[in-house]
A and B are shown apart, each in its own frame.
Chain A
């Protein structure tokens, strides 16, 4: 087994670890936080848009 074989196995393990981390974190967040809060973002909130003309 040479360097590239080891690097290939390491790449699988590291990639798997990172994907596992974000997946578990996403589950944790979904469990700990209220769904309404997680989905409470609004578009169009920008200071430049204040004071526009309205009908």
Chain B
């Protein structure tokens, strides 16, 4: 049950002589939007186009919308549960309260691995972009490592110093990256088909049939991967019940628009055979328009999107790790809050060398695949979690600031789509899928046999909820 800490006292106490320290409640819907969209938008600049290589242009469009449906279900389910569980840790905390400790441990681990690896991949992208710039200025073979470390260190310092400035900067970076996509759209004369966009010449039938479309689902996730990270901000929102649903839903709408615009522009200017293996497809699209200004704009947009994504990932991974430490799923030492900056400072520092290690492998595709698979495992838990949540705490038994419509259809749709993505992943990355499953099984055994004895079983359930139905 809850203690007597008030929000004001929790946010304000920082004296050395006692009281409580808590994460600072300063965020609003704009910051939640910046966190969710900021993590994801880099996927519009690169990565999504591998779905074109698997399923052709139309296959990629189907993947864009089908996976868009998957993430809309994720956003709706997350918004309802998080509007009730206003705590850092997001899906980990949901699992802890609704499913049980073993699922909570696994979900927490999925979150930390997914975000830390995505952070490493984003930093690698920043380093690779600078290598390209250096080559254009005549300096060949620039080592990206110092710039990768600089990116991670700068963003770690930013996160360390406070969440408000961190996500305010993320809003600026993300809004600029989104604006670059919209500006490019208005410069390709979409109202005049055939002038710049050549869809009638470039669009083809499905090159590998419907099995190619299914295979493309895995890469369709790049359009939206990470929007569920908005939940991690719940404990730092002034009003989680308002900010999380509003920020998450507007973020999802933003991403659906950005994804559709991106597909429309790229497939109208680049043949699918090239687009399916391009490293920076949106930048290539701008190059095809022939405007140096647009090229610079899209280069800046790519850089901003990668930095914003890494920034959001540090925020989310550290909150998940912090929450697990606070509940003693991990050493309690990580559950500390900085008395001045009100941030989970030990969790932030601990994850820095891990992110740098992942980045130094240089294996961008493997790191991303591991990140995506961790994400999908997390999404698979959500429909089960939602069904149990509604069954054990019906609508009239507990206050929800947001209730998602059409239950149980979103949960059922999400589960079916997750199964489809597993099949798609198995087609292209079967070994990776098996490896990651083995990793989490071993981690679960370690938790059950060595770690669970440290968990304070009663103290971890802090929500002022009634007894679940049937107990």
Residues on A close to B: CB < 8 A? Answer: 2-5, 8-9, 11-12, 14-16, 18-19, 21-23, 25-26, 29-30, 32-35, 37-49, 51-55
Given known pairs A8-B142, A8-B146, the reply for A53 and B397 (CB within 8 Å) is: yes
B19–A43 contact, CB under 8 A?
no
Q: Is B450 an interface residue (CB 8 A)?
A: no
A18–B157 contact, CB under 8 A?
yes
Task: Kindly state the interface size class of chain B when it binds its partner.
Answer: 35 or more
With a cutoff of 8 Å between Cβ atoms, the chain A residues found around residue B157 in the complex are: 18-19, 21-22
Q: Is B436 an interface residue (CB 8 A)?
A: no
Nearest B residue (CB) for A9: B146
In the bound complex, CA of A30 to CA of B21 (Å): 14
In the bound complex, CA of A55 to CA of B10 (Å): 26
Q: Mark B264-294, 1 if CB is under 8 A from A, else 0.
A: 0000000000000000000000000000000
When the two chains form the complex, which single residue of B143, B152, B464 contacts A54, counting CB atoms closer than 8 Å?
A: B464
With a cutoff of 8 Å between Cβ atoms, the chain B residues found around residue A32 in the complex are: 16
B146–A42 contact, CB under 8 A?
no
With a cutoff of 8 Å between Cβ atoms, the chain B residues found around residue A22 in the complex are: 156-157, 160, 345, 348-349
A42–B464 contact, CB under 8 A?
no
B349–A23 contact, CB under 8 A?
yes
B2–A33 contact, CB under 8 A?
no
When the two chains form the complex, which single residue of A15, A41, A42 contacts B150, counting CB atoms closer than 8 Å?
A: A15
Known: A39-B333, A48-B240. 4 other contacts (CB 8 A): A22-B349, A40-B21, A42-B20, A47-B239
B345–A37 contact, CB under 8 A?
no
Supply 6 A–B pairs (Cβ within 8 Å), ascending by A.
A25-B345, A41-B20, A41-B23, A45-B22, A46-B239, A48-B239
B239–A44 contact, CB under 8 A?
no
Q: Is B18 an interface residue (CB 8 A)?
A: yes
Given known pairs A11-B149, A23-B349, the reply for A52 and B399 (CB within 8 Å) is: yes
In the bound complex, CA of A46 to CA of B45 (Å): 37
Given known pairs A11-B149, A39-B326, the reply for A44 and B335 (CB within 8 Å) is: no
With a cutoff of 8 Å between Cβ atoms, the chain B residues found around residue A33 in the complex are: 16, 339
Q: Mark B388-418, 1 if CB is under 8 A from A, else 0.
A: 0000000001110100000000000000000
A26–B346 contact, CB under 8 A?
yes
When the two chains form the complex, which single residue of B16, B240, B466 contacts A46, counting CB atoms closer than 8 Å?
A: B240
Interchain nearest-CB distance for A10 vs B (Å): 8
With a cutoff of 8 Å between Cβ atoms, the chain A residues found around residue B3 in the complex are: 42
Q: Is B336 an interface residue (CB 8 A)?
A: yes
When the two chains form the complex, which single residue of A15, A34, A44 contacts B16, counting CB atoms closer than 8 Å?
A: A34
With a cutoff of 8 Å between Cβ atoms, the chain B residues found around residue A30 in the complex are: 336
Given known pairs A2-B139, A22-B349, the reply for A43 and B153 (CB within 8 Å) is: no
Q: Is B137 an interface residue (CB 8 A)?
A: yes
Interchain nearest-CB distance for A40 vs B (Å): 5
Given known pairs A43-B87, A45-B5, the reply for A29 and B339 (CB within 8 Å) is: yes
Q: Is B462 an interface residue (CB 8 A)?
A: yes
In the bound complex, CA of A55 to CA of B21 (Å): 29
Given known pairs A2-B139, A43-B323, the reply for A15 and B464 (CB within 8 Å) is: no
Nearest A residue (CB) for B138: A2
The 9 closest A-B pairs by CB, nearest first: A43-B87, A11-B146, A46-B86, A15-B153, A38-B336, A48-B241, A4-B139, A11-B150, A55-B466
In the bound complex, CA of A14 to CA of B149 (Å): 10
When the two chains form the complex, which single residue of A8, A14, A23, A29 contacts B338, counting CB atoms closer than 8 Å?
A: A29
Interchain nearest-CB distance for B443 vs A (Å): 23
In the bound complex, CA of A52 to CA of B466 (Å): 9
In the bound complex, CA of A23 to CA of B335 (Å): 16
In the bound complex, CA of A12 to CA of B240 (Å): 39
With a cutoff of 8 Å between Cβ atoms, the chain A residues found around residue B234 in the complex are: 46
